[in-house]
Amino acid sequence: MEQLMRDFFLFLSKNKTLTKLAKKYGLRFGASRFVAGETIERAVEVIKDLNKKGLAVTIDYLGEFVDNAKEANEMADNSIEAIRAIGREKLNSQLSLKMTSMGLDISDELVMQNMRRILDAAKENGVFVTIDMEDYSRCQKTLDIFKQLKKEYDNVGTVLQAYLYRTESDIEDLKDYHPNLRLVKGAYKESQEVAFPEKKDVDDNFKKIIKMHLLNGNYTAVATHDDAIIEYTKQLVKEYNIPNDQFEFQMLYGIRPERQEQLVREGYTMRVYVPYGTDWYGYFMRRLAERPANVAFVIKGILRK
Ligand SMILES: Cc1cc2nc3c(=O)[nH]c(=O)nc-3n(C[C@H](O)[C@H](O)[C@H](O)COP(=O)(O)OP(=O)(O)OC[C@H]3O[C@@H](n4cnc5c(N)ncnc54)[C@H](O)[C@@H]3O)c2cc1C
C-alpha cells in the first residue's frame, strides 16, 4: 500500500497541468508546511527565524519543467536575487539549485553560462552553492558539469544518492576534486537496473558512502531524517576522530523541526533546506511520496478550505 501511494505521488509530481494550476492558485493544501513562501522576502523572514535558533540554511528557488532559455535565465536571475539577499541580510545560508532549472535539457552552453553567472555572484557574496541531484537520466551530465565548475570555483558542491549502484564509484571518482558533497538516499523513482530496490540495501549503501567520503577527508553533509543514519554518523566520527567542522547534518524545512534543534544543542552543524517560490507543486508531491503519513496534513488542509 505504502509503495502504491509513493508511486502515485511521484506520478502526480510530474504532471504539468497540475503544476501550472498550483502556480496560479498559490500555496495550498498544507504545502506551506514544507515551502517557506512564494517570495524572497518571505523566505528571508523564515531564514532569519531559523538562524536565530542556531540552524544554518540552504535556500532553493523552486522551478520544475524548465524547457526554454527564457525560463532558465529567469531561474538563474531568481537564484542571484536570493544570493544577494543572503549577502545583504547577512544570513547564514547557502544556495541549492537544480541543473534542469538552469537549462540542462536545453543546452550545455546555457547551463554553463547560467552557472557561471550564479557562482560569480555567490563568490562576491561569500555564498556556497550546491547542485541538487535529479533523476538518473541527468546524473552523468550533472557530474560532468560539476567537475568542470569545480575546476573554476571553490564555492560549489553537489549531491550523490545512496540508492544508485554507481554512487560508490562516483565517490572514488570525485575524491581528488575534494568535493563538499551532500549525501542522500535519493528521491526519484528509478528502475532496479540502476538503483537498489530494497530500502535495507539503500540504507547500507548510505552508511558505506558516508564512511568512504569522510575517511577520504572530504566535507560531508549527511542529509536525512533517519535517526539510524544520524546515530551511525555520530559513532563513526567519534571512532575516527573526525572533527565537527568536516561534516554536517541536513534536513528539509518542516520535517522534524524539534530534532533539528536538538542536533544544534548537541553541538552539530544542522542545515535546513528551505525551498520557496510559486512552483511548489512538484516538490510538495515528492515530500508526500516520501512519507504518505504526511497526506493526513493535506487532507486536513483541504477540509479547512
Ligand atoms: C537537505 C536535503 C536535501 C536533499 N537533496 C536531494 C537531492 O538533491 N536529490 C535527491 O534525490 N534527494 C534529495 N533529498 C531527499 C532524499 O533523497 C530523501 O528522499 C529524503 O531525505 C527522505 O529520506 P530520509 O533519508 O529522510 O529517510 P526515510 O527512509 O525517508 O525516512 C527514515 C526515517 O526518518 C524518519 N522520518 C522521515 N520523515 C519524517 C517526518 N516527516 N516526520 C518524522 N519522522 C520522519 C522516520 O523515522 C523514517 O522512518 C534531500 C533531502 C534532504 C534532507
Please tell me the total count of domains within the chain. Answer: 2
Same domain, yes or no, for 225 and 303?
no
Region class of 181: left (phi > 0), else alpha (psi between -120 and 50), else beta? beta
**What residues are paired with 59 via a beta bridge?**
95, 274
Task: Name which residue leads in pLDDT, 297 or 283.
Answer: 283
Grid cell in block for residue 105: 535539457
Active-site pick, 7, 42, 88, 182: 182
Question: What's the pTM?
Answer: 0.91
Confidence of residue 184 (pLDDT cuts 50, 70, 90): very high
**Residue 225 assigned ligand-binding role:** yes
Interval 202-260: pLDDT, tens? 999 999 999 999 999 999 999 999 999 999 999 999 999 999 999 999 999 999 999 99
Q: How many CB atoms lie within 10 A of CB 305?
A: 6
Provide the CA 58 distance to its chain's centre, in angstroms: 8
Range(s) of the domain holding residue 94: 36-279
Same domain, yes or no, for 61 and 88?
yes
Same domain, yes or no, for 55 and 157?
yes
The domain that holds 259 is classified in CATH as 3.20.20.220
Same domain, yes or no, for 91 and 240?
yes
Same domain, yes or no, for 155 and 253?
yes
Same domain, yes or no, for 51 and 18?
no
**Residue 189 assigned ligand-binding role:** no
Confidence of residue 305 (pLDDT cuts 50, 70, 90): very low
What's the CA-to-centroid distance between 92 and ligand 1, angstroms? 22
Give, using CA atoms, the residue closest to atom 32 of ligand 1: 226
Same domain, yes or no, for 252 and 103?
yes
Whether 26 shows a pLDDT value over 80: the answer reads: no
Same domain, yes or no, for 26 and 43?
no
Same domain, yes or no, for 235 and 192?
yes
Same domain, yes or no, for 28 and 164?
no
CA distance 104 to 144: 12
Interval 246-283: pLDDT, tens? 999 999 999 999 999 999 999 999 999 999 998 887 78
Pocket of ligand 1 (CB under 6 A): 132-133, 159, 161, 182, 184-188, 223-226, 250-252, 255-256, 273, 290-291
Whether 28 is a known active-site residue: answer: no
